[in-house]
Structure 1
């Protein structure tokens, strides 16, 4: 699996040369082996891409993210051809039982709330608030019917920002930073979901009729706190500068703890999805591997 993340800005053309991505800008001409690339984030609205390159990137399962004028991811290019056992995987997924889905969602939200409490602790939030989130994590039931996730979110975000803060308010530059980081994470998860032969639109909890990646929207929940911590630790001073965007993209190279080992976020995504497949095959919750940010290490370029 590739590991490089290519950020494209002020580039004339992206094309294919043998098995390499060729990047041309004025007098510069750079080549990167396709086998080394995990994702390409394209922010240059004038950059030309050859169809031959797009086909080869699809064959290599390279995530391609196209951004809009505000630099936020707008379009994700996914391969049409899926996993070698795509049909079998699809049929297994369609047979997932609601009871098992509820148990998985319980574990996902429990890990999300624990990760939120770790973020709160790292940025020195009052202990009473941290305890409140941890107490909510301890009483989550299968399917989280009582919406402990929502109750924790109110305590969580109100611990960091002013009383008039709202996650839906686009005037807060913190929201722009969070949205950008979440979008990159979500796209990376969706890419891996598709590469595993799963139906990305068929979630375990999210059921958005217009969301083509409901399953990725489920899996991202315990990963979001990586972005949260970075934005809180290094708050943006202005709207999404180039360097800040690069730093958010590079969170895919951050290190988290999963299955008692330190792994990159890219690798942790794959391990999480593999463990979810194993959980549905066996029904054993001990098979689940979800990321912990207790030993989070931010990648520094």
Structure 2
């Protein structure tokens, strides 16, 4: 056992189950608790490689994700996902950080036969609260969006509610529709959904909306991927405008911060809040607003139900935290952690 620091961020579960088109509040059937219970049963006896529920679309930023573990403790669940990372002909690439731009040295490392390169992410589901938390240890990424895609794809293609056409030697199976139970009629007017959003404490954002006319400056913190030409060009232009020299050996990602004078109205602030809430993935990604007569910015992230906790846990290896030990640690501090949402 070892004491490790983890960052916990809560998300609200807006929709889980099967909904009529246009309906957002009340599912025809399905719930978070039933989804997790069924997913646990479905995964029993399966190998990791066959737990993938969706193929990322061409051009998507998503990569395949797999179900590594799902463990329950009374009403709580811990879901461990394995997030695949890119590989080339059975090898993973590592660029040498001290090699020069334009002449970078890349080392290719073998992947064991049958191996899936990637990293683990962890999600603590508390169905009675209508919420779950991402638990981030050594990695910057929570993996929340791929997990959301995974759950919705499971509902739509693998859950017990799916009804397929009869097997036909000359055709692939097709989905006829969905039903609550085996004795219920098949319906084709409902659609699977698992939709979430980062859980916010309303006070700070409401203050900004009400004070939009007082905003005098906006501060933006974001991460730039320097292996993307458009983001590299933006970063280089910013350095040139500031008459700064940048190192020849560039990392793949840099944190970037800038500020601009601005006058805004309520609708503009609302638009920024909504876009940021939808896309927010990393701790660094943030907006700060400075109001007239004040010097300290009001950060959007300060309204998030997020904090760091120390957990006494075991690891299966350097990458993967033992799920049972993590769930025990979460249960031991359950009340304090849930207070983040209050």
TM-score range (shorter-chain normalised) is: under 0.3
Whose relative contact order is higher, 1 or 2, with alpha carbons under 8 Å and at least 6 apart?
2
- The TM-score normalised by the length of structure 1 is 0.23
* Structure index of larger Rg: 2
Higher relative strand content: 2
More helix by share: 1
